[in-house]
Every structure is written in structure tokens, then in C-alpha cells.
Amino acid sequence: MSVRSDTESGFTMIEVLVAILIVSIASMATFTLLSDAARNAQRAKSEQIAIEYAEQELEYLRSLEDKKLALTVAPPHSANPESPNYRVSESTFALNRSPVGNYRNLVINGGSLYGGGEIAGGTIEPGPTPFVSGNVEGRIYRYIVWHNDESCSETQCPGKQDYKQIIVVAKVNKTASLPGETGYFEVQSNFIDPTKNAEKDPLPKGAEGVVTAQQFFLSDTPCAAGGTTVRQEITADHPLHNTLGECASGLQTGATPGAPDALLLGSPPSSEESVVPPVHEYSNNLYTEPGLQLVKQEANGCNYNPTTGTNPASEIHRWVSDPMAERFVLNGRVSVELFTGTTNGASYRAGICMYLFDRHKTSTGYTDTYFLNNSGSTPYWTYVAGAPWPSSQWTSVRRTLELKQAGEIPVGDRLGFAVSTEKEATTAANAISVMYDHPSYPSRIEVDTNTPINGG
């Protein structure tokens, strides 16, 4: 065995290996510290950029006029707790992040009209909208909610939609250097324009109180027999819903009278990933066309009830709201927006009939009481295009329905809307198409009221 003497110089192999190990450990620690420092610097940079983008967006939204401060569609709920849309439930948003709570109604499609007019239409896309700053990428989310003005009496400020608040969220995308799920940063405004809705605008036909605009969206979900209707996701083409019965009839197709489709407070939700959902056929037993196909009635004029025994459900389509929890006032003006087109993209003239009614449940079924047209006292309104009906793409058709007098939907009753094709005005074709319950085509009615409904 070899033994090193005290006079020998140099290192043994073991000493060299130990030295290499020590240097490697020290280097690893140094590299780790440097890497952590770089990640922390990148994280701090990302956070600062996200906050700046959120604040800039908030200031921009605050600069808009009040009537434009409304979301174009309802943001979708996310099952991911790290997403701000986790705080979305139906048409409400939770102001408190942790624990999630203090839900407020979202301002969707229209805001307030302050005395009536055509549908105002929100201009704010909820997002997420991408942003890029150098090597930092992220998404901006926007929410606008209603608040009740506790300092304003119910006489002057009825309901709980008195003023608005803006919430903007910025979330940084994952990167190779920051691969984990990132949190998000939010900024909230003070209350927006707290006196706007309290202004006394002239009201139609002697109505009292402050007029705002209540949205009801046409859905493809049959109305619930009682309580609140929950929107059903449209996942496939399907036969025409027979809407000629009552809500208790449930979903029916063919010749059996079934539940009307629901008028819902929330707009059709969009996808968080901004993927536009497909359009589906709502009457694929009649036509291979997207949406609902309304066939011409056999009798001239506007007829609330079908005029033929062949596919009567295709002659008129009806929607009703959920039962009113409180008295709901119609101040005399209702604006309608329908997305429509011809069948097969053909070119022809067409016209439609529209009906508004109060549905009252009785011991044997229901009774419908029609609201009357201010012009001619007829129980319907017509829209006849001055040129060929839209054919190349889904097109928005708007019509303001002036009521003969202000009316109301009593507690427990439902507001109803129906549409049919006007035979004499519809030439060279048997049907027209209507699209709804789609984020790109949110057909709806908007009622001037001083008793807005909490929830949408």
C-alpha cells in the first residue's frame, strides 16, 4: 500500500473530487440565486406592466359617456379559480375576490335609455383582450356592474340600477421563465355618474319615476314552469320547439303544444377563449338552415294563432319571461332587435308581425292579454323591409313598438313576445330565418321601465 509522506506535494484524486463537488455546489447556488433574481425581476416587470395596462383601460372606460358603459355580452363563468371569470355567475360578478362574494348585476347591452329610443347597445367587450409590451404578454378583462344608491329614495331612484362601477383585470400569460399559473391584478373605479339615472327626463304618457331600459334576450331554452329559467347550452341542431302551449307543458316538438322559449335577463355568454360558437339549426325538421324558420301563415294580416293545421308551430314563435317577482311597468315604448335573413340566401321581400302580451296563469291554463299598438289600436306591430329582406348574412332589424298606453305585468304574470311572418309582404318565398341566443346575434327586446328587474 502506498502512503504519502509529509514531504510529498499535490492532491489526491479524492481531494480533487471533493473540491470539484464544493465548487459545483457553490456554482449551483449562485446560478439558482441569479436565476431566481432574473425570474423575480421578470415577474416584477410583468406585474408593473399589467397594472399599468389595467389602469390605462380603466381611465379610458371612465372617459366614455354613460350610455356606452355596458358590456356587449355576458362574460362566461370559468371553473379555474385563477381566472377572474371564476367570479362570474350567470349575469352577476363578485366584487370580493377572496372569499368570492358580494355579487352585483352586470350591466349588459344597453345600460339606460333615459326616456326611450332605439336600443342603446353597450360598446364594451368583456374580453379577454390580448396585450403585448416587449416580452410581456397578457389579457385584459372588463366588468361593469350596477349599484344601488342608498342615499337616493325609491321615489326618485326606483330599483337597484342607479349607477355603475367598472372593474378591469389584467392577467399575464405563462412563459418559459414563468411557467406556473399567474395571478391577476385588478383595479376598480369609484361609482360612475351617480346622478345620471336620477335626472328627471320627460316620461311618455304620464308615467312616473326614472325611466331605464330593461333587457330581455330571446333564448332557445323552454321556460321553466316556476322559479328561474336556467339557460341551456345549444350543442346541436334540433327540431323546432313547439311554443304554442304553457311553461308547464315542457319542451315539445311536432304538433304537441309545448312551453314557449324563455325571455332571459342575461345575454348569450361568449367563450373566455374568444372562440365563436357555431350557429345551429333550430328547426331542422323543416329546413336545413341555421336558426329558426318562420313559415308564412295562410291568412293575410297578423294572426297571433296559427291559421293552418300543417306545422302550426312554425307559423308563430313565442317567448315568455319568468313570473314577475314584483310589479313590472311598461312605460309605453319597447325596442326590438332581431337578427334575420332569407332562407337559402335568396333575394325576396318579406315582413314580420310582432306581439307583446301579459300571460296570466289560471286554474285551467293561462290567458294572454295583448298590448295595443299606439297607431291603430291593433294587438300587433309590423316591420316590412323597404328593400329585399337581408340575405347575404345575419342582419340586425330594429323596430320601436309604441304602446297605446303604459301598462304593467302584475306579480306572478309573465311578459310575452311573439313573432310571425306577414303573408302579404313576404313574396316569392315560404319562410324567413331568425337567429338568437348566440353571442354574435343576441336578438332581444328592451322595455322602457321605471321598475327594472334585479338580475340582468
Residue 129 in domain: yes
Last residue of a domain, one of 173, 198, 223: 198
Whether 280 and 230 share a structural domain: yes
Integer Cα distance of 372 and 381 in angstroms: 9
The yes-or-no verdict on residue 262 having pLDDT over 50 is yes
The residue-averaged pLDDT of 98-102 equals: 86
The yes-or-no verdict on residue 280 having pLDDT over 80 is yes
- What predicted TM-score, i.e. pTM, was given to this entire model? 0.66
Q: What is the pLDDT of residue 199?
A: 40
Residue 202 confidence class, pLDDT cut points 50, 70, 90: very low
Whether 348 and 298 share a structural domain: yes
Residue 15 in domain: no
Residue 19 confidence class, pLDDT cut points 50, 70, 90: confident
Residue 197 confidence class, pLDDT cut points 50, 70, 90: very low
The residue-averaged pLDDT of 145-174 equals: 77
The yes-or-no verdict on residue 88 having pLDDT over 80 is yes
Kindly report which listed range (72-76, 92-96, 401-405) carries the lowest average pLDDT score.
72-76
The yes-or-no verdict on residue 301 having pLDDT over 80 is yes
Q: What is the pLDDT of residue 371?
A: 96
The count of structural domains within the chain is 2
128: buried, middle or exposed (CB in 10 Å: 19+, 13-18, 0-12)? buried
Average pLDDT across the chain, whole number? 81
Which residues make beta-bridge pairs with 146?
164
Higher-scoring residue by pLDDT: 403, 26: 403
Whether 382 and 261 share a structural domain: yes
The yes-or-no verdict on residue 274 having pLDDT over 70 is no
Whether 210 and 124 share a structural domain: no
Return the C-alpha cell found at 257.
303544444
| Spatial CB neighbours of 416, under 8 Å, sequence gap ≥ 6 | 260, 263, 318, 319, 320, 321, 355, 356, 357, 358, 359, 368
Whether 172 and 208 share a structural domain: no
The residue-averaged pLDDT of 409-437 equals: 91
Residue 18 in domain: no
Whether 238 and 141 share a structural domain: no
Last residue of a domain, one of 149, 169, 198: 198
Q: What is the pLDDT of residue 204?
A: 38
Most confident stretch, 35-39, 49-53, 358-362, 373-377: 358-362
Please report, for the domain that includes residue 439, its CATH number: 2.60.120
Residue 42 confidence class, pLDDT cut points 50, 70, 90: low
Whether 225 and 192 share a structural domain: no
Read off the pLDDT of residues 121-147 as tens digits, 9 standing for 90 and up. Answer: 567 888 888 888 777 888 899 999 988
Residue 417 contacts residue 401 (beta carbons within 8 Å) = no
Residue 33 confidence class, pLDDT cut points 50, 70, 90: low
Last residue of a domain, one of 139, 166, 198: 198
Residue 178 in domain: yes
The yes-or-no verdict on residue 347 having pLDDT over 60 is yes
Residue 10 in domain: no
Give the structural domain span for 92: 32-198
The residue-averaged pLDDT of 369-386 equals: 91
Residue 7 in domain: no
Higher-scoring residue by pLDDT: 106, 207: 106
Residue 261 confidence class, pLDDT cut points 50, 70, 90: very high
Whether 214 and 350 share a structural domain: yes
Whether 144 and 226 share a structural domain: no
The yes-or-no verdict on residue 273 having pLDDT over 70 is no
Whether 118 and 140 share a structural domain: yes
Q: What is the pLDDT of residue 311?
A: 87
Three-state secondary structure of the chain: CCCCCCCCCCCCHHHHHHHHHHHHHHHHHHHHHHHHHHHHHHHHHHHHHHHHHHHHHHHHHHCCCHHHCCECCCCCCCCCCCCHHHHEECCEEEEECCCCEEEEEECECCCCCCCCCCCCCCCECCCCEEEEECCEEEEEEEEEEEECCCCCCCCCCCCCCCEEEEEEEEEECCCCCCCCCCCEEEEECCCECCCHHHCCCCCHHHCCCCCEEEEEEEEEEECCCCCCCCCCCCCCCCCCECCCCCHHHCCCECCCCCCCEEEECCCCCCCCCCCCCCCCECCCCCCCCCEEEEEECCCCCCCCCCCCCCCHHHCEEEEECCCCCCCEEECCEEEEEEEEEEHHHCCCCCEEEEEEEEEEEECCEEEEEECCECCCCCCCEEEECCCCCCCCCCEEEEEEEEECCCEEECCCCEEEEEEEECCCCCCCCCEEEEECCECCECCEEEEEECCCCCCC
Read off the pLDDT of residues 207-231 as tens digits, 9 standing for 90 and up. Answer: 344 556 788 999 999 999 988 999 9
Q: What is the pLDDT of residue 156?
A: 61
Residue 164 in domain: yes
Whether 180 and 213 share a structural domain: no
Higher-scoring residue by pLDDT: 321, 125: 321
Higher-scoring residue by pLDDT: 392, 444: 444
The residue-averaged pLDDT of 46-57 equals: 83
Q: What is the pLDDT of residue 324?
A: 95
Whether 157 and 99 share a structural domain: yes
Residue 13 in domain: no
The yes-or-no verdict on residue 110 having pLDDT over 70 is no
